[in-house]
Amino acid sequence: MIKKITWFVLLLITTAYMVACTSMGASTASDHANRIASSAQYNSDSQRFQNPEEISLQTGRPWTTIAYEYLFNGHERRPKEKLPEAPPALSELDSKSRDIRFIWFGHSTILLELDGKRILIDPVFSTYASPLAGIAKRFQPPVFNIDEIQNIDIVLISHDHYDHLDHKTISKLKKRDLHYIVPLGVGAHLEHWGIKKEKITELDWWEDTAVNDLTFTCTPSQHFSGRGLFNRNTTLWASWAIKGSDQNVFYSGDSGYSGHYKEIGERLGPFDLTFLENGAYSLDWKYVHQLPEEGVQGHIDLKGKAMVPVHWGMFDLSLHTWHEPIERVTREANKRGVKIIAPKLGQLVSETENFVQTDWWSPLIEKAEENDLASLRP
């Protein structure tokens, strides 16, 4: 009996390892090596990409203290009930528009339409933003199954972390005729998962490409990369500027605040819409995940008209409550006269200039507080 249990445990461990290895992607392909080595962002001595300024991934407290707090202090890091959704009818979703339209699926997954072209940004439709079940579980199922979202033209990836590049989602998309635009080195993961090489465009910072009459410029961010213990910073991380015939959109990916926003704004701005990271931050790692107030400053640096906070509302990846990011960013935006667009999950946003913001998160916070108080009463 003990022998059978031992073999069963070994089988489970082996299966988990194989699944994890597949989802981890691949090492940088040898045919990409020369291009990567010539990048100004690549350090040939360490054989790693690097930020222009040397930064620390973690400041202040030791990781052991942070890990303990993350594991054992989980107050309100996940909502106590389902977040409100407002998905359009599938018939409306299937029809394209030449105006800017978008749907936010939570965290950093966005379906963007520009000039009648449909771009799926950092798509993560899996239950976990992790190679293993049980870690970084999403708050609730996606408002649409990935199979229900049709007429996608382009998939845009900012970097290879699991909450931005999802093996299962890519595997479901690989049978479609899509074009993938990614930072240097990320294409090796996609090829490993069955995406044809000719369908992938890899770019370095400040390089651009035209696909379906849209211009995509790979722009800097202050972050890092890696999907395993031994491949940190072997692929590039990036933000993206997307230019249509009349409108201009920016997506930050993950980033700490730095001077790159101002440079991007001066070279490629102004932007009609900015999607800016606003969550999973901490003073312990502020150089790679900006604070909400810094995101508002980044929007101003970019010369943006309207700001959409992303990277919040779906995964518990930090120490703050689930609602703190949106409360802080709206408070700062109101103070500085910045227009915020924070739709409900799945809500189809069009006519962004006329979008009327509601604090849809406030009733959930108030209800949770009332329930907490009620539980304390004798």
Select from 91, 95, 90, 187 the least CA-distant residue to 145. Answer: 90
User: How far is CA 103 from each of CA 145, 152, 219, 309, rounded to the nearest angstrom?
Assistant: 14, 13, 23, 13
Q: What is the pTM of this model?
A: 0.92
Lowest mean pLDDT among 33-37, 290-294, 359-363: 33-37
Mean pLDDT calculated for residue range 143-164: 96
Q: How far apart are CA 127 and CA 125, in angstroms?
A: 7
pLDDT of residue 18: 40
pLDDT of 23 above 80: no
SS3 of 125-159: the string is CCCECCCCCCCCECCCCCCCCHHHCCCCCEEECCC
Asked if pLDDT for residue 94 goes beyond 90, the answer is no
Q: What's residue 28's pLDDT?
A: 60
Once rounded to an integer, what is the mean pLDDT over residues 148-157?
A: 96
Per-residue model confidence (pLDDT) at position 374 = 65
Q: Worst-scoring range by mean pLDDT, 55-64, 95-104, 222-231, 354-363? A: 55-64
Lowest mean pLDDT among 10-19, 131-140, 352-361: 10-19
pLDDT band at 185 (very low <50, low <70, confident <90, very high): very high
Q: Which residue has 């959109």 as its token pair?
A: 249
In the prediction, which pLDDT does 332 show? 98
**Local confidence band at 34 (pLDDT 50, 70, 90 cut-offs):** confident
> Rounded to 5 degrees, what angle do the CA atoms 137, 16, 158 make?
50
Confidence at 279, pLDDT banded by 50, 70, 90: very high
For residue 312, the model assigns a pLDDT of 98
| Poorest-pLDDT segment among 130-144, 267-281, 362-376 | 362-376
Break the chain into its structural domains and give their ranges: 32-376
* pLDDT (mean) for 193-218: 97
Which of residues 135 and 362 earns the better pLDDT score? 362
User: What one-letter code names the amino acid at 291?
Assistant: L
Residues 6+ away with beta carbon under 8 Å from 90: 144, 148
Q: How many helices (H) and strands (E) does the chain have?
A: 10, 16
Compute the mean pLDDT over every residue in the chain, rounded to the nearest whole number: 90
- Give the domain 32-376 fold: Metallo-beta-lactamase; Chain A (3.60.15)
Q: For the chain, what's the residue count?
A: 378
